[in-house]
Amino acid sequence: MYDDAKAQRVVNFINCLKNLKGQWRCVTFDLLPLKRKIIRDIFGNVKENG
């Protein structure tokens, strides 16, 4: 069973995170389409009972 809302919640959370060190300090993450798909596939699949 796939839950699109749960998958999108994780993607939104990761996009809110910021780098802490280096030249990209304080810049938020911007997931590439392939990485976004992988994360959605992992966190969007749920068991039948939720």
| Domain range for 14 | 4-44
The model's pTM: 0.80
Count up the domains in the chain and report the number. Answer: 1
Give CA separation, 14 vs 4, 26, 35, in Å: 16, 14, 11
Let me know the angle formed at the C-alpha of 26 by 23 and 28, rounded to the nearest 5 degrees: 105
Residue 40 placed within a domain? yes
* Mean pLDDT, residues 25-43: 93
Residue 50 placed within a domain? no
Residue 14 has pLDDT above 70, yes or no: yes
Instruction: Indicate the pLDDT class of residue 24, thresholds 50, 70 and 90.
Output: confident
CA dist., res. 44 & res. 18, Å (int)? 23
Taking the chain, what is the end-to-end CA distance rounded to the nearest angstrom? 9
